[in-house]
Amino acid sequence: MTNPTRGRLAFVPPRYGAEIVGGSEAVMREAAQGLASRGWDVEILTTCARDHYTWANEYPAGTTTEDDVVVHRFPVERPRAKRSRARVDERIVAGDPISAKQQRAWLDGLFRVPELFNRLVVTADRYDAVILSPYLFWTTVTAATVAPDRTVVMPCLHDEPYAYLDVLRPVLADVARLWFLSEPEHQLAHRIAHLPAHDVTGAGVHVPEQYRPEKFRERHHLERPFILFAGRRERGKGWDWLGNAFHFAIQQYDVPFDLVAIGVGPAGAPVDTSGRVHVLGYLDHDEVADAFAAATAYIQPSTNESFSRTIMESWLAGTPVLASMGSEVLQWHCDRSGGGLTFGDEFDLAQCLSFLAAAPANADLLARAGREYVLANYRWDVVLDAMEASLRELTCGPS
């Protein structure tokens, strides 16, 4: 283990582990490991949950060491009154006014981790900085009150009704520092709250040592060229919309692609009857890289993005991106990189797919531009430099 020389950090994500599917969780884990490798003494305070649908306690509580990082896991407490939270959630999404009491009940109604909070209260003085993410969960909102003068929040903010709730605003306004993953996320935060010191650090993406696209196609018996979807198969990530839009494209435009989905999703996801959609589920990291390289394009239909790690993984694999123009972040990345096409509705998507089929050489030019963009801006060494500079300013003051 590296001898700690630069300070002691506590990272507090709601879930932690290499098999966890989630952008903020991946960034927190890899940032923690990267800073540990640079000489920081890093500890993780997290839950025993693996699945963000059930929040069931699947990992054992207690302390372990994983990749030079000490991990403390605490059991989740789930409330019984799920229906009342669901009703409040519907009102929030609809834009109805919600009282402060209802907002707090909504926050507490998903899960609570009292033992984690108590541990942080007792040990907070040990840490030079406490790093929290994402903005939306009990772990972040509650932990931000323990040592706000030494707390850094990486909000992973989306332009969604939850972001404007009063109960969540202190996470943006009342801590020592904020780390943003993109410029549109930074500008959104300014529209919501008066901000403390902050930096646009971005997020890092590891460059795989190799890609094996043919092996991926053979293993999963994929005969047609395909478009890839990666991540959580949820309505909020555009999965339901994508299923309908893809079938529109193959029925009305006869596009020659299948759709392959990797990642996790809730039970009872819609079943495809066309034979053109393949849901492969969770894959290990090496096979995920192979999936990106094997795809004709990666599609990102989500409008709720603060960075979008998956489009970076696609570009690194030499694969162009199709992205929703409903996300300022995705539009920003595509405009800056020249590596992707954006769509507004199913007609646009069908046109994008038709273009890929008709102009593979032009699609390759998009992919090359995207790869250069990622290598120039989102290598982990560049991002860790930015995070370390921010931490030095927090712990030592401006130089």
Do residue 310 and residue 361 come from a single domain? yes
* Selected residue with higher pLDDT from 76 and 271: 76
Local structure of residue 137 (DSSP, 8 states): S
Residues 6+ apart with CB under 8 A from 57: 47, 48, 49, 75, 76
The mean pLDDT value of the chain amounts to: 92
H or E element in which residue 299 lies:
strand 297-300
CA distance 202 to 30: 13
Do residue 334 and residue 392 come from a single domain? no
Indicate if the pLDDT at residue 288 is higher than 80. Answer: yes
Do 163 and 140 form a contact (C-beta atoms < 8 A)?
A: no
Do residue 227 and residue 182 come from a single domain? no
CA angle 41, 42, 47 (to 5 degrees): 155
Do residue 241 and residue 197 come from a single domain? no
Within a domain: residue 1? no
Do 134 and 140 form a contact (C-beta atoms < 8 A)?
A: yes
Do residue 371 and residue 386 come from a single domain? no
Quote the percentage of the chain above a pLDDT of 90: 83
CA distance 254 to 267: 30
Q: How many domains does the chain have?
A: 2
- Which two structure tokens, joined as six digits, stand for 88? 């409040």
pLDDT in tens, 38-66: 999 999 999 999 988 889 999 999 999 98
Within a domain: residue 50? yes
Within a domain: residue 3? no
CA angle 115, 119, 125 (to 5 degrees): 160
Mean per-residue pLDDT for 134-142? 96
Indicate if the pLDDT at residue 3 is higher than 60. Answer: no
Quickly list DSSP for 349-391. HHHHHHHHHH-HHHHHHHHHHHHHHHHHH--HHHHHHHHHHHH
- Which two structure tokens, joined as six digits, stand for 328? 């300022």
What's the pLDDT score for residue 2?
Answer: 45
Indicate if the pLDDT at residue 4 is higher than 50. Answer: no
Do residue 194 and residue 245 come from a single domain? no
Do residue 217 and residue 286 come from a single domain? yes
pLDDT in tens, 81-115: 667 888 999 999 999 999 999 999 999 999 999 99
What's the pLDDT score for residue 342?
Answer: 97
Do residue 14 and residue 141 come from a single domain? yes
- In order of 26, 117, 263, 302, 393, the CA distances from 285 in angstroms are 12, 32, 11, 22, 34
Among 26-35, 275-284, 386-395, the least confident range: 275-284
- For position 31, which CATH number holds? 3.40.50.2000
CA distance 304 to 294: 26
Indicate if the pLDDT at residue 340 is higher than 70. Answer: yes
pLDDT band at 18 (very low <50, low <70, confident <90, very high): confident
What count of Cα atoms within 13 Å lies in the side-chain half-sphere of residue 131?
Answer: 26
Within a domain: residue 2? no
Do residue 217 and residue 334 come from a single domain? yes
Indicate if the pLDDT at residue 268 is higher than 70. Answer: no
Local structure of residue 232 (DSSP, 8 states): E
Within a domain: residue 299? yes
CA distance 105 to 127: 30
CA distance 307 to 25: 13
Mean per-residue pLDDT for 228-237? 87
Quote the percentage of the chain above a pLDDT of 70: 95
H or E element in which residue 8 lies:
strand 8-12
Indicate if the pLDDT at residue 25 is higher than 70. Answer: yes
Do 171 and 144 form a contact (C-beta atoms < 8 A)?
A: yes
Do residue 45 and residue 146 come from a single domain? yes
What's the pLDDT score for residue 68?
Answer: 81
Compute the Cα dihedral for 367, 368, 372, 373 and give only its sign: negative
Local structure of residue 272 (DSSP, 8 states): P
Do residue 295 and residue 164 come from a single domain? no
Cis bond upstream, residue 134 (ω within 30): yes
What's the pLDDT score for residue 1?
Answer: 43
Mean per-residue pLDDT for 289-317? 95
The sheet carrying 277-281 orders its strands as 277-281, 258-264, 226-232, 297-300, 321-324, 340-343
What's the pLDDT score for residue 399?
Answer: 53
Pairing of strands 62-66, 177-180: unpaired
Do residue 299 and residue 340 come from a single domain? yes
pLDDT in tens, 162-219: 999 999 999 999 999 999 999 999 999 999 999 999 999 999 999 999 999 999 999 9
Within a domain: residue 35? yes
H or E element in which residue 45 lies:
strand 41-47
Residue 146: how many CB atoms within 10 A of its CB?
Answer: 19
What count of Cα atoms within 13 Å lies in the side-chain half-sphere of residue 382?
Answer: 15
Indicate if the pLDDT at residue 139 is higher than 60. Answer: yes
Show the domain range for 228. 213-377
Within a domain: residue 312? yes
